[in-house]
Amino acid sequence: SMIAEVLRTANLDPTVVVGGIVSDVGSGGRLGAGDVMVAEVCESDGTILKVSPTIGVITSLEREHMDHYASEEDLFSTFAAFANEVPFYGTVVLCLDQPNLRAIIPRIKRRLVTYGLTAQADLTAQNMAFEGFVSCFDVYWRSGGQHQRLGRIKISSPGMLSVYNALAATAVGLELGIGFDVIRESLAKFARPKRRFELKGTVHDIMVIVDYGHHPTEIRETLKAARLGWQRRLLVAFQPHRFTRTQDLLPRFFTAFDDANFLVITSIYPVGEKPIKGINARLILDGVMQAGHTSAHFVKQMTQVARRLVDEAQPGDMIVILGAGDIYKIGEVVLGGLRQKFGEER
């Protein structure tokens, strides 16, 4: 979405197909009149290999979708093959802070542009500041062996993942010859997609956030973003997504919620999968508690999840509702419960 905003601001009028609902478009796609297309492609079933982008952007590579891949090596090989689908005149933009992406660099036979916080990256961010939804940082670009400061970027998107995504969008813009001032302008007006740290509302100084995060790393980064931007107690509700994902990534969930002061875990959202014997949401709860969490709870019914959050909430708190399933629907229920609890009109 950030890349699309950069291209739109540069008057390239791109066609856009992305996974999230773009706020100012109202859908995940738009048909542009320009000769550039921005597509978010998915590795979940290998369709990532059905495209040959002129610029291929790889933001991360982690163990995921192991119901499709035979092994981690199979997954890593797929990403390397995707990079090599870029034509010889194209570019691969890659996050150098990701250890797994560093590991596949020797397999990539295309021109690389890297970004990250490491001094080894071509494009880096320094002097970061976070306050509420706003993230600011200086951008440095390697030129002639030295990093030169291009300027400061301000985005209305919290947390480190937002910084990384903005760096990736900046790298693409620079590759396309777009001036840094245009890139900065585009990112300044970027609106987060739906269910990406989306503020559903605030009642009696209690913020209610809905986020799509469901992988342990996404969960951890979302809660870190809340910690970086606000000094609030965090009440978190999480709906695990798929039995296969829960089974494969189970130990990694145990410390993903360390920044949550109060945690409610509900039943697994199956997405059409059949249950796996012995795999359930309580396993996550047990692991979280064994890892030292002092206020984690299992609540089976979604209506009761909302009730627990409302009962626990006090002014100054932030409620974060996490998951890729249907848990986002309780956002409005929680807001209604808070209004009733504190006697506020809508």
What average pLDDT does the segment 133-147 reach? 92
pLDDT in tens, 25-84: 556 678 888 999 998 887 767 778 888 899 999 998 876 665 666 787 888 888 899 999
pLDDT, position 271: 86
Report how far apart, in Å, the C-alpha atoms of 225 and of each of 49, 59, 121, 134, 228 are.
Answer: 32, 18, 23, 10, 5
What is the structure's pLDDT at 129? 96
Whole-number pLDDT of residue 345 = 64
**Do residues 187 and 169 touch, judged by C-beta distance below 8 A?**
yes
Q: What is the pLDDT of residue 145?
A: 80
Composition of the chain by helix, strand, coil, percent to 5:
35, 25, 40
Residue type, 133: F
CATH topology of domain 198-342: Protein-Tyrosine Phosphatase; Chain A (3.90.190)
pLDDT value for 108: 96
| Conformation bin of residue 26: beta by default, left when phi > 0, alpha when psi is -120 to 50 | left
Let me know: does 30 contact 43? Beta carbons within 8 Å.
Answer: no
The domain limits of the chain are 1-189, 198-342
Residue 153 confidence (pLDDT): 97
pLDDT at 299 over 90: yes
* Token reading at 274: 């059949």
Answer yes or no: are the C-beta atoms of 126 and 137 closer than 8 Å: yes
CB 330 within 8 A of CB 195: no
Same fold, 1-189 and 198-342: no
* 1-189: CATH topology: UDP-N-acetylmuramoyl-L-alanine:D-glutamate ligase (3.40.1190)
If you average pLDDT over every residue of the chain, what do you get? 91
Mean local confidence (pLDDT), 210-238: 94
Q: What is the mean pLDDT of residues 258-263?
A: 97
Asked whether the predicted pLDDT for residue 23 surpasses 60, the reply is: no
For the chain, how far is it from start to end, CA to CA, in angstroms? 32
- Cβ proximity of 123 and 87 under 8 Å: no
Confidence (pLDDT) at 341? 92
- Give, to the nearest 10 degrees, the angle between helix 216-229 and helix 160-175: 100
Using the predicted structure, report yes or no on whether residue 22 has a pLDDT greater than 70.
Answer: no
Nearest alpha carbon to residue 117 among 58, 155, 79, 166: 166
Closest CA to 155 of 331, 317, 2: 2
How far apart are alpha carbons 132 and 136 in whole angstroms?
A: 11
Say what the pLDDT of residue 24 is.
62
Average pLDDT over residues 208-213: 94
Average of per-residue pLDDT across 270-285: 93
Mean pLDDT for the stretch of residues 260-287: 95
Residue-wise pLDDT tens digits, 84-120: 999 999 999 999 999 999 999 999 999 999 999 999 9
